[in-house]
Homo-oligomer: A and B are copies of this chain.
Amino acid sequence: MFTEFCRAFGINLDLALEAREIVRGETEQEVPGVQVDREKYDYAEVTIVKIVEPYAEKLMGKPVGTYITIEAPVIRENNPPAHQEITEILARHLEPFVKLPEYSNILVVGLGNWRATPDSLGPKVCSLTVVTRHLFNYAPQALKEGMRSVSALAPGVLGITGIETAEIIKGVVEKIRPELIITIDALAARNVSRIGTTIQIADTGISPGSGTGNQRAGINRETMGVPVIALGIPTVAHAAVIARDTLDGFLEQLRKSPELYQLSQRLSPGLAQEVINRVLEPFGGNLTVTPKEIDTLIHTAAEIVAGGITMALHPNLTPDEYNFYLH
């Protein structure tokens, strides 16, 4: 039912965790073909959703693969030590994906538009990530033992470049031949509470149509020829979903009273949709919302993501060295 709703409003469920919640609905059963694991930390809960069977792909609307979700509401608080802990949790969960030979090249790709605040997460992460590929080529003496060859690209968005993002990345990939790509993207959440508080790591790369910029072509192993780890943080939510959640909550209350339940059964099935359409009509049903404090939120999220990536790629760097290599 919700999946139909999403389709009606062109909503893509970027988070596997949310897709799973919806597919499960109110049942207690796991989605068939899906495995789930959980880890608890002081400031975060990590859920690892594995879509293992091809038939689960269709149910979940997401390709077979591993989706790690770090839920940490503390990211929205002003709590530097907790942010440091989240950074380390992120680094630890990235590490298995970056176990590559020493000579490997890794390309970090910051998707999105640096001139539109809610969509600027990716480019900001690029500028906060320690990049070293040029040092390997031109100044190897400036490198510390154990650093990897890392490059970073912020390809911009279709509306500004006129070029499919995937084409730009593919062109660069064919030149520099990385062994691994890590993308960073601003996502859309179904649930407003996830904005700026949830980090998803997916080893499936990016499917067509996902992210706030709505990539038209996929950025994944099929299109790029190398593994693609997709890192995302929701920065917007669909207003349609706020409306929907309200109605759902309302109907749920109705169902608690036997006689109201009976009456509610007589509601026409399309009524909810119709009402939501009318409320959101002025924006063509396409209102994406973002919290008022979006500037601060993007800044903090970018610091955590860039810190986690840098820690995973250059595990020997001290915090001072991290600052030093960032210019």
Residues of A that sit less than 8 Å from B by CB: 73, 78-81, 114-119, 126-127, 131-135, 138, 149-154, 156, 158-164, 167-168, 170-176, 191-193, 212, 216, 236, 239, 242-247, 249-250, 253-254, 257, 259-260, 262-264, 266-267, 271-272, 274-276, 278-283, 287-296, 319-320, 323-324, 326-327
Q: Nearest chain-B residue to A186 (Cβ)? A: B292
Q: List 21 contacting pairs A-B, 8 Å CB cutoff, sorted by A.
A: A78-B326, A79-B324, A116-B295, A116-B296, A117-B294, A119-B292, A127-B160, A163-B172, A172-B172, A174-B174, A192-B283, A243-B245, A244-B246, A246-B279, A253-B271, A253-B275, A259-B266, A287-B291, A289-B290, A289-B292, A290-B291
User: Judging by beta carbons under 8 Å apart, are B275 and A131 in contact?
Assistant: no
User: Judging by beta carbons under 8 Å apart, are A292 and B162 in contact?
Assistant: no
User: Judging by beta carbons under 8 Å apart, are B81 and A295 in contact?
Assistant: no
Q: How far is the CB of A309 from chain B (nearest CB, A)?
A: 13
A138 CB contacts on chain B under 8 angstroms: 216
User: Judging by beta carbons under 8 Å apart, are B154 and A156 in contact?
Assistant: yes
From known contacts A212-B292, A287-B291, infer whether A260 and B266 are also in contact, taking CB-CB under 8 Å.
Answer: yes
Which one of B81, B132, B289, B290 lies within 8 Å of A162 (CB-CB)? B132
